[in-house]
Amino acid sequence: MSDPLQKSGRMTVVSQELSDLKFVKLHSPKMKSVYWQHFGFPTNEHDRIITKQNVVCTLCHKVLTNHGNTTNLRAHLQHRHKDIFQKICIENGIRIPPRRPLTKAGNSSTGPGRMAVKRDPLRQKVKMECRDTIQDTSNTGSLQGEEPSMLYETMVPMTYEDDDVIDNDHFVKVEVSGSGNGLKTKSNITDHSTMEVITMNAKYTSGPNYRSEMGEMVNQYQLQDALVNMVINDVRNVDTLYDQGMSIFIRTLCGNVELPSDKKIEALIRELHSDKLTTLSNQIKMHSQMKPYSLGFEIWKNVENKHFMSIYFNYTTDAPEYNLLNQLYCTVEYNKFTSIDEIFEEFNLENCAAAIVSYEYDDYLKHFLKSKNIPIILSYDVTVDKCLKLVFALSDVISIIDQVKEMIMRYGSEISSKDVDIPTINDEFPWTFYELLKFFSETVSWPEDVDILVASSKVIVDTLNILAITLDTLKGEEIPHSSMLSPITSKIVNKKLALSDTDDELVANIKTTISSELQNVVIADHHLTIAALLDPRFHRLTTVKNLGKCIQILTSKYNQMHQQDVGTVAMTKDTIEHKPATSTSRKSNLEIFFDIQDEPAPISVPQEDCNIENDLKRYRTEVYVNLDESPFSWWNKLGHVYGSLKRLAPIYQCMPCVVNMNFKKPVKQQIYEQHKRFMLTGTLIDAILFLHNNNDNKFD
C-alpha cells in the first residue's frame, strides 16, 4: 500500500495529544488486524520510528494514542470515516452489535430513577464485536444456528468522540450461549460460563499495574516489553523466562498473570531486530560504497558446539566529531557451508581497509580475505593473550604455577576464613593466571619456607606487568586505533623488554618470549606500520624496519585512487603556519606512556611535483603533534601540505586495533558475559546479540 504521507519536505502534525509531533512519513507495522491498514507510526527522514506511543491515521492525519490494541483505531474509523469502516466490516465479516439507545437529559424515556450522565473520560469501557465466519450474500448476519465468536478487547479509556452521554447500566455480565441463538445478558448469574466485565478505577490503570476484585493484574503489553528487554539485556534464551523460579518471581510481582507465549516474545524480538537492522544495514552498505571502512571478525562457539562468526563494521564520522565507531553488524552460524560472499554481497569490499580478526588459525576466513586483497590484523587483545599463554607454557613457569595452586589449596580454608576471594583460573582467559600469581605474591603473608616461591611469582608478575600497562593505555581511548600498536610495541620491545645483565634465566626467557611474539605480529606488520606513520602523533615514535615496503604499498593504493595522475598530485601553494596544540588539562594515558618532551618542528611550504616517498620524507621531518590532538582534525586542517598522504590517511583512520571493546571490562565480567553468550541456542542468537550490542548506539 502506498504511503499517502511520503513527501520530500518535513510535515508537522498537530493534535490534542502531541502538538509538536513532526514526521516525514508513516511506518506501516505488520499487524494482523484489518484496522491497521489505515494507520502507521510516525517516522523521520531516516525512516526511524519517532514514537510508538502514538499512531497516525493515513486518511486525515489524526494522531491517536496507542494503547496496544485496536480499540482507538476502530473507533476513529467508525466515527470519522464511516464509509471506509463499513467497507471493512463487509469485506471481513465484522458485525458490530447495535448500541443501546442512550437517554438524553429530560427525556421521558429515561424513566423513574434513571438519570443521564456525561461521559467520564477516565471511566473504562469494554467494546465487543461479532465476526461472522459464514455470511450470506447480503452480509446482514450469521446463518441460523451458527455461534458468533466474541472478541473482547482490552479495557482502555473510551475513545468515542461523539458519545455525549452514557448509560449507568451499560456494563453488564455477558454470557456466551452455546446454542447459537445470540447473546444473552444477565444481571445476577454467577455460574462458570459467565464472563464478568468490571469497570476499573482510573487510579489503577494510570501505571503498569492495576488491582481489581479478581486480584493483582498487569498490563500485558508492558509485561511483554519487559520480558523482551530482559532477554536482550541479559543475553538469555527465551525459554529461560518460563523456568519455575522465573515464573514464580513474575507472579509474585504481578499477581496471577498469564505469561505471554514464547512464540509471542520471539516474534516481538524478531520485529524489533528487523526494524533496527534495516535502518543500520542500509546506511552501512551506503557508507561502504563511498568511504573507507574496516571489518571485525570474532569466531566463537556455543553450548551445542556450533561455531558462530560475529561481524563488526568500523567507520569514521565526518566533521566536527571525527570519531571512530565500532558496531556489531550480524552474527551467523559458521561452518564449511557458510557463504561469506553472500554476507557482503551489497558491500564494496574494495573500500575495506583491513579486517581485524580474533581467531588466528581460521584458513577459510583467511582465504576469503586474501582473495579480496583485504589486509588481516590480529586483534591486539588476542595478541597479548597469546603472549601470556606462551609465557605460562614455559616449563619453569608451569612448575611455579603448580606449586602456587598447591599452596593455595593447602591453606584454602584458612584464607577463605579471612573473607578473601581467591582468584579462579580459566584456561581461556590467561589473565586469570596472572591474577592468581599476583594474589599469591602480594595479598597473602606466607610462611618463610615458601619465600622462594613467593619471590619467583613476584618476578613473573613484575615482568608481565608491562602488558597490563599497555592494555590500560589502550583502555584510556574510547576506541583504540591501530596506529597506536606499532609505537607502543616499539617502546615495549626496545626499553621494557630489552635484556639486561641483572636478568636471571627466568626473566630472560619471559622477555624473549614476549618480545619475539610482538616483533612477529605487530612490528613486522606493514599495515600497522603505515597506520602509525600516517598518524601525526606517532610517526616519530615508531620503529620502521620496512620503510621500502610501506612506500610500495602506499604508492599502489594511491595509484588505484588516482588512475590518471600516477605518482603525482597537485599541491596547494598556500603557506600554512602551524601552531602546536596546547592543553592545560592533565596528561592523557598516551602522554604518560611515552613521556614526550620534544619541541615541535616548523612545517615547510608545500612543494610541487611531489610523490609518496617525498611527501612521507618531508612529513616525518617536519610534523610534530601533541599526543592529545586528534589525527582526524590535523589531517583535515593541515593535510593539504602533504597532498598525496592526505588522500591515503582516511584509509588507515578507520581501523581499530581490537575487534570489540570487551577487553575494557574486568576479567571476571568478561568470563561471565562469555558464558551467557555460550549458553545461547536457537534461531534468535543474531537478533539478541545485535539488539544487545546496539542498544544505545546509533548509526550517524
Upper half-sphere CA count for residue 599 (Cβ side, 13 Å) = 2
Cis geometry, peptide bond prior to residue 320 (ω within 30 degrees of 0): yes
CA dihedral 517, 520, 525, 528 (to 10 degrees): 20
Of 534, 544, 540, residue with least CA distance to 599: 540
Q: Three-class SS of residue 52?
A: coil
Tell me which residue has cell 569466531. 299
pLDDT tens track for 9-44: 333 333 333 444 556 667 667 677 888 888 888 887
- Contact (Cβ atoms closer than 8 angstroms) between residue 515 and residue 595: no
Q: What is the reported pLDDT for 589?
A: 65
**In contact, 25 and 14? CB cutoff 8 Å:** no
CA-CA distance, 398 to 99, in Å (whole number)?
A: 85
pLDDT for res 94 = 80
Among positive and negative, which fits the CA dihedral 427, 428, 430, 435? negative
Does residue 658 contact residue 480 with C-beta atoms inside 8 Å?
yes
Q: Helices 685-693 & 262-290, crossing angle to 10 degrees?
A: 60
CB 134 within 8 A of CB 143: yes
Q: Which three cell numbers stand for residue 118?
A: 456525561
What is the residue-wise DSSP string for 321-357? Answer: T--EEEEEEEEEE-STT--HHHHTTTS-GGGEEEEEE
pLDDT confidence of residue 680: 96
- Give the C-alpha separation, 550 to 617, whole Å: 12
Are 644 and 267 a contacting pair, CB within 8 Å?
A: no
Beta strand pairing status for 63-65 and 54-57?
antiparallel
Place of cell 554476507: 343
Which H or E element spans position 90?
helix 82-92
Which amino acid is present at 442? E
C-alpha 591/C-alpha 541 separation (Å) is 12
Task: Determine the pLDDT at residue 595.
Answer: 61
Residues of the chain with pLDDT under 70: 1-25, 27-28, 30, 97-218, 562-610, 696-700
Closest CA to 325 of 694, 639, 689: 694
CA distance 651 to 265: 42
CA distances from 281 to 132, 216, 644, 694 (A): 43, 43, 32, 12
The pLDDT of residue 597: 52
pLDDT (tens digit per residue) in 288-316:
999 999 999 999 999 999 999 999 999 99
Helix 395-410 × helix 451-475 angle, to 10°: 110
Alpha helices in 539-698 (DSSP H): 547-561, 589-594, 612-622, 631-638, 643-653, 667-678, 685-693
The pLDDT of residue 588 is 61
C-alpha neighbours within 13 Å on the C-beta side of residue 98: 6
Helix 505-518 × helix 380-392 angle, to 10°: 150
pTM for this prediction: 0.65
